[in-house]
Amino acid sequence: MARFVRFLCSALVLSLLLTGCQTAPKAHDCQFVAMDTFMSLTAYGENAQTALTRAQEEILALDTALDVNNEKSRVYAINHRQQDTVPLSGEVGQLLSLSLELARETGGAFDPTIYPVVRKWGFTTGAYQLPTSHELEQALSLVGHEDLFLGQGSLTLKEGAQLDFGGIGKGWAGDRAAQALREQGIASAILRLGGNIQTLGTKPDGSLWTVGIQDPATGDNLATLAVADLSVVTSGSYQRYFTVNGQVYHHIIDPATGLPADNGLTSVTIIAPSGARCDALSTALFVMGPDGAARFWREHRDFEAVLVFDDGSVAITNGLQGNFTLTPAFSHRRLEVLE
Ligand code: ADP
Ligand code: MG
């Protein structure tokens, strides 16, 4: 009997050892272009391939619903409405509701009604142009989240007002894709929606995901962040821009002026659980500038941030200490920790 128990125990140890030595779960990938950007989704575990297909479907459906240039999109229908009040419910209604909350919270630095101005600059079509000050003034008069009224199943906009979810859509899509994976039982995944990163759980071996942050000036890897179950979203003046007579005009617009935000920041990265919140805040804090961004963080503290300035220096919020590392080539950069 004792021998049998000893045999059972060693069989158990052996099987535990074997489990420990098992090869890591296979990574499943899914790559495609949506929302005007390259996307790459990686998930681990059983059912990963089916789950990734579901996540991709979520993203593609949102792309169709939110695309300002697609005549079949919900947003196009709103922007080209015949009456001031249009029916609005479902997911686009939820996204608009969240966008309006974020617009209020950021004092209008993030504003989903910025489209008339963004369109004047040509940022949504790529047909870039310098608007005249008269054109800008006229477009700006149509902007204002305070003038929207979102009721039960309907939306009322003032004449000429138009929506643009370009500053939040990818983050929202990342949240929906992550949710689709969770519903399929996936516990470990990393989703790259252009520059928006969404992580689900940890890596299969329990370690943190490593996410790179780009140096806005060179495009090289400035720093790495170690994260789990978090979204990492960057807004930068280097992501979409054009140049006229040596002057750079980028796509993050200050709704107060109608001009590209120009305040000494070259990128803002936000780290928080919700991709949509990260996305809207990365745009908003970029508009707020260094002091406004630091103040907003101190007043909220429900997210972390990395700010890169046009002199190359970097500021991180104190919660990132220990998980943020400048890469060796950039270790000489001035690094401030916001408290
Ligand atoms: P990216 O799309 O490159 O990830 P952002 O998340 O910062 O970068 O979004 C920029 C886009 O958001 C612009 O292309 C435009 O469509 C829209 N946008 C620009 N300025 C604002 C703003 N102040 N508030 C809301 N949306 C904005
Ligand atoms: Mg954004």
Task: Assess contact for 235 and 252: CB atoms under 8 A.
Answer: yes
DSSP letter (8 states) at residue 89: -
DSSP letter (8 states) at residue 26: P
166 CB under 6 A from ligand 1? yes
* Cα 19 to ligand 2 centroid, rounded to whole Å: 43
Contacts of 220 (CB under 8 A, 6+ apart): 214, 327, 329, 330
pLDDT the model gives residue 21: 46
283 CB under 6 A from ligand 1? yes
pLDDT the model gives residue 90: 94
Task: Assess contact for 326 and 320: CB atoms under 8 A.
Answer: no
**Could you identify the atom of ligand 1 that is nearest to the CA of residue 123?**
14
Task: Assess contact for 46 and 204: CB atoms under 8 A.
Answer: no
**Could you identify the atom of ligand 1 that is nearest to the CA of residue 240?**
3
pLDDT the model gives residue 2: 43
* Beta-sheet strand order (sheet of 27-34): 27-34, 37-44, 188-193, 196-200, 231-236, 265-272, 304-309, 314-317, 335-338
Backbone conformation region of residue 325, classed left if phi is above 0, alpha if psi is from -120 to 50, else beta: beta
Residue 113 has pLDDT above 70, yes or no: yes
Q: Using CA positions, which residue lies closest to atom 27 of ligand 1?
A: 167
In tens, the pLDDT along 269-278 reads 999 999 999 9
pLDDT the model gives residue 1: 40
Token pair for 331? 């270790």
pLDDT the model gives residue 125: 87
64 CB under 6 A from ligand 1? no
Note the pTM of the prediction, 2 decimals: 0.93
* Rg of the Cα atoms in the chain: 23
* Cα 5 to ligand 2 centroid, rounded to whole Å: 61
Q: Using CA positions, which residue lies closest to atom 12 of ligand 1?
A: 167
In tens, the pLDDT along 11-66 reads 333 343 444 445 678 999 999 999 999 999 999 999 999 999 999 999 999 999 99
**What is the amino acid identity at position 325?**
T
278 CB under 6 A from ligand 1? no
* Cα 69 to ligand 1 centroid, rounded to whole Å: 15
Closest alpha carbon to 242 in 116, 117, 123: 123
Query: Residue 5: pLDDT band by 50, 70, 90 thresholds?
Result: very low
111 CB under 6 A from ligand 1? yes
**CB atoms closer than 10 angstroms to residue 6:** 10
Among all bound ligands, the one having the nearest atom to the CA of 112 is: 1
Torsional sign, CA 249, 250, 255, 261: negative
Token pair for 256? 């107060």
**CB atoms closer than 10 angstroms to residue 296:** 20
C-alpha torsion angle, residues 48, 50, 53, 57 (rounded to 10): -120
195 CB under 6 A from ligand 1? yes
In tens, the pLDDT along 147-158 reads 999 999 999 999
Task: Assess contact for 326 and 335: CB atoms under 8 A.
Answer: yes
- Please tell me the total number of residues recorded for the chain in this structure: 339
How far apart are the C-alpha atoms of 224 and 325, rounded to whole Å? 5
251 CB under 6 A from ligand 1? yes
- How far is Cα of residue 241 from the mean position of the Cα atoms in its chain? 18
**CB atoms closer than 10 angstroms to residue 198:** 29
Q: Number of H helices and number of E strands within the chain?
A: 8, 19
* Cα 15 to ligand 2 centroid, rounded to whole Å: 49
How far apart are the C-alpha atoms of 28 and 45, rounded to whole Å? 8
In tens, the pLDDT along 162-216 reads 999 999 999 999 999 999 999 999 999 999 999 999 999 999 999 999 999 999 9
252 CB under 6 A from ligand 1? yes
pLDDT the model gives residue 34: 98
164 CB under 6 A from ligand 1? yes
Element (H, E) at 34: strand 27-34
Residues with CB under 5 A from ligand 2 (ion): 167, 235, 279, 282-283
Residue 128 has pLDDT above 60, yes or no: yes
pLDDT, the chain, mean: 93
pLDDT the model gives residue 133: 95
**What is the amino acid identity at position 255?**
P
Residue 121 has pLDDT above 60, yes or no: yes
Residue 6 has pLDDT above 80, yes or no: no
* Cα 142 to ligand 1 centroid, rounded to whole Å: 17
* Cα 281 to ligand 2 centroid, rounded to whole Å: 7
pLDDT the model gives residue 22: 59
